[in-house]
A = this chain, B = another copy of it.
Amino acid sequence: MPHLFRQQVRSKRFTGPTAGHCGEFAQANLAIIPSVYAEDFLRFCVRNPKACPLLGVGEPGQWNVPALGRDLDIRTDVPGYNVYRDGVLCEQPDNIVELWRDDLVVFAIGCSFSFEQMLARERIPLRHVDEGVNVPMYRTNIANQAAGPFGGKLVVSMRPMSGAHAVRAVQITSRFPSVHGAPVHLGSPAVLGIDDLMQPDYGQPVSIHEHEIQVFWACGVTPQSAIESARLPFAIAHRPGHMLMTDIPNASLAVL
Protein backbone atom coordinates (compact mmCIF):
# COMPACT_ATOMS: atom_id res chain seq x y z
CA MET A 1 0.00 0.00 0.00
CA PRO A 2 2.77 2.57 0.72
CA HIS A 3 4.38 1.45 -2.55
CA LEU A 4 1.20 2.22 -4.50
CA PHE A 5 0.81 5.49 -2.61
CA ARG A 6 4.31 6.56 -3.66
CA GLN A 7 3.50 5.64 -7.26
CA GLN A 8 0.52 8.00 -7.10
CA VAL A 9 2.73 10.75 -5.69
CA ARG A 10 5.35 10.14 -8.37
CA SER A 11 2.74 10.45 -11.15
CA LYS A 12 1.20 13.57 -9.52
CA ARG A 13 -2.12 11.85 -8.98
CA PHE A 14 -1.54 12.65 -5.28
CA THR A 15 -0.18 16.08 -4.33
CA GLY A 16 -1.58 16.92 -0.87
CA PRO A 17 -0.68 16.50 2.77
CA THR A 18 -0.15 12.88 3.77
CA ALA A 19 -1.86 12.83 7.20
CA GLY A 20 -4.31 9.96 7.44
CA HIS A 21 -2.94 7.98 4.49
CA CYS A 22 -1.53 4.44 4.86
CA GLY A 23 -2.09 4.78 8.60
CA GLU A 24 -0.32 1.52 9.52
CA PHE A 25 2.98 2.70 8.03
CA ALA A 26 5.58 5.18 9.22
CA GLN A 27 5.80 8.54 7.52
CA ALA A 28 9.11 10.38 7.72
CA ASN A 29 10.48 13.89 7.96
CA LEU A 30 13.00 14.43 5.20
CA ALA A 31 16.32 16.28 5.23
CA ILE A 32 18.64 16.22 2.22
CA ILE A 33 22.06 17.62 3.01
CA PRO A 34 25.24 18.08 0.90
CA SER A 35 27.82 15.51 1.91
CA VAL A 36 30.26 18.16 3.16
CA TYR A 37 27.74 18.90 5.95
CA ALA A 38 26.26 15.42 6.22
CA GLU A 39 28.64 14.17 8.89
CA ASP A 40 27.84 17.16 11.10
CA PHE A 41 24.13 16.67 10.52
CA LEU A 42 24.38 12.98 11.37
CA ARG A 43 26.08 13.84 14.65
CA PHE A 44 23.41 16.47 15.27
CA CYS A 45 20.71 13.81 14.91
CA VAL A 46 22.53 11.35 17.14
CA ARG A 47 23.00 14.02 19.82
CA ASN A 48 19.33 15.04 19.71
CA PRO A 49 17.57 11.71 19.38
CA LYS A 50 14.20 12.81 20.76
CA ALA A 51 13.79 15.52 18.11
CA CYS A 52 15.74 13.79 15.30
CA PRO A 53 15.29 10.02 15.59
CA LEU A 54 16.74 8.50 12.44
CA LEU A 55 14.70 5.96 10.50
CA GLY A 56 17.27 5.84 7.71
CA VAL A 57 20.31 7.50 6.16
CA GLY A 58 21.44 7.19 2.52
CA GLU A 59 24.85 7.17 0.87
CA PRO A 60 26.03 10.33 -0.92
CA GLY A 61 24.12 10.68 -4.19
CA GLN A 62 21.80 7.78 -3.34
CA TRP A 63 18.18 8.68 -4.16
CA ASN A 64 16.84 5.18 -3.56
CA VAL A 65 17.07 4.18 0.09
CA PRO A 66 15.95 0.53 0.12
CA ALA A 67 15.62 0.42 3.92
CA LEU A 68 12.84 3.01 3.67
CA GLY A 69 10.80 1.67 0.77
CA ARG A 70 10.71 -0.59 -2.27
CA ASP A 71 11.49 1.17 -5.58
CA LEU A 72 11.77 4.45 -3.70
CA ASP A 73 12.88 7.53 -5.64
CA ILE A 74 13.32 10.28 -3.09
CA ARG A 75 13.41 12.86 -5.93
CA THR A 76 9.81 12.28 -6.96
CA ASP A 77 8.02 10.29 -4.25
CA VAL A 78 7.35 13.06 -1.72
CA PRO A 79 4.30 15.27 -2.44
CA GLY A 80 6.14 18.53 -1.78
CA TYR A 81 9.65 19.81 -1.06
CA ASN A 82 11.17 22.88 0.62
CA VAL A 83 14.43 24.07 -0.97
CA TYR A 84 16.73 26.18 1.20
CA ARG A 85 19.56 28.37 -0.10
CA ASP A 86 21.77 30.11 2.46
CA GLY A 87 19.30 29.01 5.11
CA VAL A 88 16.35 30.69 3.39
CA LEU A 89 13.33 28.85 2.02
CA CYS A 90 13.43 29.67 -1.73
CA GLU A 91 11.27 27.19 -3.63
CA GLN A 92 8.57 24.61 -2.98
CA PRO A 93 8.78 22.30 -6.01
CA ASP A 94 6.79 19.09 -6.38
CA ASN A 95 9.88 17.13 -7.38
CA ILE A 96 13.65 17.63 -7.13
CA VAL A 97 14.82 15.72 -10.21
CA GLU A 98 16.50 18.79 -11.68
CA LEU A 99 17.99 19.77 -8.31
CA TRP A 100 19.52 16.38 -7.53
CA ARG A 101 23.29 16.24 -7.07
CA ASP A 102 25.72 13.41 -6.53
CA ASP A 103 26.79 14.80 -3.18
CA LEU A 104 23.32 14.85 -1.55
CA VAL A 105 22.63 12.61 1.46
CA VAL A 106 19.10 11.60 2.45
CA PHE A 107 18.06 11.60 6.12
CA ALA A 108 14.66 10.18 7.09
CA ILE A 109 13.54 11.22 10.57
CA GLY A 110 10.66 9.68 12.52
CA CYS A 111 7.32 11.49 12.58
CA SER A 112 4.65 11.87 15.24
CA PHE A 113 2.00 10.49 12.86
CA SER A 114 3.33 7.05 13.87
CA PHE A 115 2.74 7.48 17.58
CA GLU A 116 -0.54 9.29 16.94
CA GLN A 117 -1.78 6.13 15.24
CA MET A 118 -0.91 4.19 18.40
CA LEU A 119 -2.71 6.75 20.59
CA ALA A 120 -5.79 6.75 18.34
CA ARG A 121 -5.90 2.94 18.41
CA GLU A 122 -6.39 3.18 22.18
CA ARG A 123 -9.12 5.81 21.74
CA ILE A 124 -7.04 8.64 23.18
CA PRO A 125 -8.58 11.75 21.58
CA LEU A 126 -6.21 14.05 19.69
CA ARG A 127 -7.55 17.60 19.83
CA HIS A 128 -5.88 18.84 16.63
CA VAL A 129 -7.37 15.89 14.74
CA ASP A 130 -10.82 16.53 16.24
CA GLU A 131 -10.56 20.21 15.34
CA GLY A 132 -9.19 19.50 11.85
CA VAL A 133 -5.96 21.50 12.15
CA ASN A 134 -2.23 20.83 12.20
CA VAL A 135 -0.79 20.06 15.62
CA PRO A 136 0.45 23.24 17.36
CA MET A 137 4.25 23.48 17.55
CA TYR A 138 6.42 25.84 19.56
CA ARG A 139 10.04 26.94 19.58
CA THR A 140 11.34 26.40 23.12
CA ASN A 141 14.24 28.02 24.97
CA ILE A 142 15.98 24.62 25.22
CA ALA A 143 19.19 24.57 23.19
CA ASN A 144 19.81 21.55 21.00
CA GLN A 145 23.13 19.76 21.40
CA ALA A 146 25.14 21.40 18.62
CA ALA A 147 27.22 19.67 15.92
CA GLY A 148 29.16 21.73 13.37
CA PRO A 149 26.90 24.50 12.07
CA PHE A 150 23.74 22.79 13.38
CA GLY A 151 22.31 24.01 16.66
CA GLY A 152 19.26 26.11 17.42
CA LYS A 153 16.45 25.38 19.83
CA LEU A 154 14.22 22.40 20.40
CA VAL A 155 10.79 22.59 18.75
CA VAL A 156 7.96 20.75 20.49
CA SER A 157 4.42 19.72 19.57
CA MET A 158 1.66 19.95 22.16
CA ARG A 159 -1.39 17.75 22.71
CA PRO A 160 -3.76 18.56 25.59
CA MET A 161 -5.43 15.59 27.30
CA SER A 162 -6.81 14.29 30.58
CA GLY A 163 -4.41 13.21 33.29
CA ALA A 164 -5.30 9.54 32.86
CA HIS A 165 -4.80 9.75 29.09
CA ALA A 166 -1.48 11.51 29.65
CA VAL A 167 -0.28 8.58 31.79
CA ARG A 168 -1.26 6.13 29.05
CA ALA A 169 0.26 8.36 26.34
CA VAL A 170 3.60 8.31 28.17
CA GLN A 171 3.45 4.51 28.31
CA ILE A 172 2.52 4.12 24.65
CA THR A 173 4.98 6.60 23.19
CA SER A 174 7.83 5.33 25.39
CA ARG A 175 7.71 2.17 23.29
CA PHE A 176 8.48 4.17 20.12
CA PRO A 177 11.77 6.07 20.54
CA SER A 178 12.30 6.20 16.76
CA VAL A 179 9.24 8.43 16.37
CA HIS A 180 10.11 10.91 19.17
CA GLY A 181 9.35 8.54 22.04
CA ALA A 182 8.08 9.73 25.41
CA PRO A 183 7.06 13.34 26.01
CA VAL A 184 9.79 15.78 27.01
CA HIS A 185 7.52 17.70 29.36
CA LEU A 186 4.12 17.70 31.04
CA GLY A 187 2.27 20.71 32.36
CA SER A 188 3.44 24.31 32.53
CA PRO A 189 4.52 25.71 29.12
CA ALA A 190 6.57 28.40 30.90
CA VAL A 191 9.17 25.75 31.82
CA LEU A 192 9.95 25.48 28.09
CA GLY A 193 9.92 29.25 27.55
CA ILE A 194 6.53 29.17 25.81
CA ASP A 195 4.59 32.34 26.62
CA ASP A 196 1.28 31.79 24.87
CA LEU A 197 -0.08 28.39 23.83
CA MET A 198 -2.62 30.14 21.62
CA GLN A 199 0.19 31.49 19.40
CA PRO A 200 2.13 28.47 18.13
CA ASP A 201 5.21 29.04 15.95
CA TYR A 202 4.03 26.33 13.53
CA GLY A 203 0.65 24.67 13.01
CA GLN A 204 -2.54 25.99 14.56
CA PRO A 205 -3.72 26.55 18.13
CA VAL A 206 -6.15 24.05 19.67
CA SER A 207 -8.60 24.45 22.52
CA ILE A 208 -7.58 23.23 25.95
CA HIS A 209 -10.36 21.99 28.23
CA GLU A 210 -10.66 22.44 31.98
CA HIS A 211 -8.51 20.04 34.01
CA GLU A 212 -6.51 18.92 30.96
CA ILE A 213 -2.75 18.96 31.04
CA GLN A 214 -0.47 19.90 28.16
CA VAL A 215 1.73 17.09 26.92
CA PHE A 216 4.82 18.17 24.96
CA TRP A 217 6.78 15.98 22.57
CA ALA A 218 10.03 16.75 20.74
CA CYS A 219 9.11 17.63 17.16
CA GLY A 220 10.48 16.74 13.74
CA VAL A 221 10.44 20.44 12.79
CA THR A 222 13.54 20.80 14.98
CA PRO A 223 15.96 19.63 12.23
CA GLN A 224 14.38 21.98 9.69
CA SER A 225 14.87 24.80 12.18
CA ALA A 226 18.49 23.69 12.62
CA ILE A 227 19.01 23.73 8.84
CA GLU A 228 17.71 27.30 8.67
CA SER A 229 19.88 28.53 11.54
CA ALA A 230 22.94 26.76 10.03
CA ARG A 231 22.47 28.84 6.84
CA LEU A 232 23.68 26.03 4.60
CA PRO A 233 24.26 27.14 0.98
CA PHE A 234 21.89 24.40 -0.12
CA ALA A 235 19.57 21.90 1.52
CA ILE A 236 16.21 20.28 0.85
CA ALA A 237 13.46 19.13 3.18
CA HIS A 238 9.88 17.94 2.77
CA ARG A 239 7.15 20.56 2.71
CA PRO A 240 5.51 20.47 6.19
CA GLY A 241 2.72 17.90 6.31
CA HIS A 242 3.84 16.40 2.99
CA MET A 243 5.82 13.48 4.36
CA LEU A 244 7.78 10.60 2.88
CA MET A 245 5.64 7.46 3.07
CA THR A 246 7.82 4.48 4.03
CA ASP A 247 7.24 0.73 3.91
CA ILE A 248 8.05 0.49 7.64
CA PRO A 249 5.03 -0.70 9.69
CA ASN A 250 4.54 1.53 12.72
CA ALA A 251 4.08 -1.58 14.85
CA SER A 252 7.59 -2.74 13.94
CA LEU A 253 9.06 0.39 15.54
CA ALA A 254 8.02 -0.67 19.04
CA VAL A 255 11.02 -1.48 21.22
CA LEU A 256 8.84 -3.53 23.54
Contacts and interface: CB of A to CB of B under 8 A. Distances in A.
B167 A191 contact: no
Given A170-B170, A171-B174, A164 B188 contact: no
Contact of A163 (B163, B174, B186): B186
A184 interface: yes
Contacts of A164: 184-186
A70 to B, nearest CB: 34
A184 to B, nearest CB: 7
A253 B195 CA distance: 42
Interface string A161-183: 01110110011001000000011
B211 A187 contact: yes
B190 A213 contact: no
B171 A182 contact: yes
Given A167-B170, A171-B170, A256-B256, A213 B187 contact: yes
Contacts of A163: 183, 185-188, 191, 216
Given A213-B213, A256-B256, A167 B187 contact: no
